[in-house]
Structures are given as C-alpha cells and as structure tokens.
Amino acid sequence: MTATKTIYKIRIKKGDEVIVRSGKYKGQTGKVVSTHPTLNKVTVEGINIVKKHTKPNKQYPQGGIIPITKPIDVSKVGIIDPATKKASRIGYTIDKDGAKTRVFKKSGKEIK
C-alpha cells in the first residue's frame, strides 16, 4: 500500500502579513517566511520559536541551544487587512482577461 501525500490548498503566500487567531501566540503578528502545502502549515517570523539542543558541528562549532522557528497550522493564522488592521479571509476574483486575483473577504479590496 502506497501512502499518497495530500497537498493542501493554502491561500496565504510567502511575504503576507498575518495575525495568529488562536493558541499560545494569539494576537501576535508576523510575516510568512515559508509555506508547507503537504503539512498544511506556514512558518511565521517570530512565532512558535523553540529551542533545539545541538552537538558541535561545522555550522555550530560550539554547539549549544539554538532557537528555531517551527511551522504553525494555517487554520490558526489570518491575513491582516491593512485598512482595518484585523484578520480577514482570502477570496478570489477573475478579471475580464481571465487573470485570477486574491481579495480580502471583508473589504473586497485586492491583496497586493
């Protein structure tokens, strides 16, 4: 039996400004560093930082405790609407040309 990896549809993209809606980091904001479609998670700058104990290696000759940013579930974050400074969901509109653009569900404005 082969296990197929599910690739989730993540509307949030790298570089988006997001706010954490639930959990330990609720209310904190940050920029999306990367998305992980197979895990349904996003890595947000300054959110979900854990400390990893490492042995000495070439990258860290001293070794020690290193802070690492771990991914957070995409359902826990929402994109920030710059007009209202609140979390919004993402929708899509299709132009006459056939171009698909992302828009804020609350205000209807285009996401830049």
pLDDT in tens, 6-64: 999 999 999 999 999 999 999 999 999 999 999 999 999 999 999 999 999 999 899 99
Q: Are strands 29-36 and 41-44 parallel, antiparallel or unpaired?
A: antiparallel
Q: Are strands 86-88 and 77-81 parallel, antiparallel or unpaired?
A: antiparallel
Q: Does domain 17-104 have CATH number 3.50.50.60?
A: no
Domain ranges of the chain: 17-104
Residues 92 and 111: their CA atoms lie apart, in Å, by 10
DSSP track, 57-95:
-SS-TT-EEEEEEPPEEGGGEEEEETTTTEEE-EEEEE-
Work out the number of other CB atoms within 10 angstroms of the CB of residue 28: 15
Short-list 31, 27, 65, CA closest to 46: 31
Per the confidence metrics, is the pTM higher than 0.85? no
Main-chain dihedrals φ then ψ at residue 75, nearest 5 degrees: -70, -15
Encode pLDDT of 89-112 as tens digits.
999 999 999 999 999 998 889 988
